[in-house]
Structure 1
């Protein structure tokens, strides 16, 4: 199996002639990240390529949204928007490159997430909120969850609507390790709440597994 560097993937994407860009009905869309309960993640980078072939490096990095209550298994019933940023000046996403440290293992993963055209259609449509009063808002939030074992799941939603799952896949292990081999391979320090949870519980890897998922190729 041949592995391509992300730079080559992006250059190949830029060389392709995509669909005619559509003017967005909003000024920006939100890119958020979360992790399962106690399963701390350090996001090294999330780089966005939009449908016009433009690349937005470092669209998000750092800590992700996490809870320290309940059981770690599964993704939960309510999908939050996650910790993230508004991606301003970009068209809708075509591809997102993600590299992160799974601190409970520890292990470093990387993945290229190809965003389906059906997802972009959803992001241009409105959804009814679950709040009272009911409002209709654009699904301009893209939430990505990162779990131990390299499992990745993503959803789109509006601020008040239920989330719609758009992809689930398994990432590759980053051969250079944390921070691309810098800092003598040291990982970000795992927090005390997670350490205590892991002292009493195993990591429930199978609870995040995607059916028939294969590793993404870089």
Structure 2
């Protein structure tokens, strides 16, 4: 985890100072202008994301502090169509290589730090197109990523799939830590004074066994 964090920091520094002439050499061009990542949570088991750092396949780094927050209605297990499409804030131009983010699990009452290292499977899928099922004659771009955040720090990643069930990115290396193992996310929280359950959360989890489903 420390090695990944150092790598992220180094890459952000390099991306800030590299020359534009060098940046264009061998650059991977996506078939879309932007792709979007959104977060999803189970119904009444909320989380909040506080910081995101992303490195794309061309080595560019981007930091997100204004983030489109998680939403979701999955009950018991993830819906095959969890997540949404576009986001006003969570977007980039080239497919991701690494995403690292901090999030408050309100239901778990703790901060998590998650690192996603993507395989070539994700990059290759995001660089392909196919006919759009809902608009004949148009192309469908695999430009909508969904990151699921569930109790016990469980994280999963999918690509939206042209109206079909989401494509889980099983080749993604997912690492989640908390407590004394936090690095980038030490002190990153929206709840410095502690977590409280809403009445809706209390009603939903009443009589259920933690972690309230299979995630």
Pairwise same-fold verdict (TM > 0.5) = yes
Whether contact under 8 Å (2:39, 2:83) holds in the other structure is: no
Match of 1:31 in 2: 37
The aligned counterpart of 1:201 is 208
Structure 1: which 5+ residue stretches go unaligned? 209-218
The within-5 A match list for 1:1-218 is 3-4=1-2, 7-11=5-9, 13=11, 20-58=26-64, 61=67, 63-67=69-73, 72-81=75-84, 84-85=87-88, 90-129=93-132, 131=134, 136-158=139-161, 160-167=163-170, 169=174, 171-175=176-180, 180=187, 185-187=192-194, 189-204=196-211, 207-208=214-215
What is the alpha-carbon distance in structure 2 between the residues aligned to residue 191 and residue 62 of structure 1? 21
Matched residue SS, 2:100: strand
What is the DSSP-based 3-state SS (H/G/I as helix, E as strand, rest coil) of the residue aligned with 1:200? coil
**TM-score, length-scaled by structure 1:** 0.75
Whole-Å Cα distance in 1 between the matches of residues 194 and 67 of structure 2?
A: 15
Q: Secondary structure in 1 aligned to 2:123?
A: helix
In structure 2, how many angstroms separate the alpha carbons of the residues matched to 1:85 and 1:59?
Answer: 13
Distance 1:191 1:117, change over 3 A: same
Separation (CA, whole Å) in 2 of partners of 1:202 and 1:96: 31
Aligned-partner Cα distance in 1 for 2:145–2:202:
29
Could you give the per-residue CA deviations for residues 146-169 of structure 1, whole angstroms, max 9, x where no partner exists? 111111100112564432110364
Relative to the length of structure 2, the TM-score reads: 0.76
Question: Aligned-pair distance for 1:62?
Answer: 5.6
Task: Provide the rounded CA distance (Å) in 2 between the counterparts of 1:206 and 1:112.
Answer: 23
Q: CA deviation at 1:202?
A: 2.4
On the 8 A contact 1:27/1:88 being kept in 2, the answer is no
The structural deviation recorded for 1:187 is 3.9
Cα RMSD between the aligned structures? 3.5
Q: Which runs of 5+ in 2 are unaligned?
A: 15-24
User: Is the CA contact 1:31–1:86 (under 8 Å) kept in the aligned structure 2?
Assistant: no
Say if 1:62 and 1:142 are closer, same or farther in 2 by CA, change over 3 A: closer
For 2:197 and 2:137, the matched residues in 1 are separated by: 41
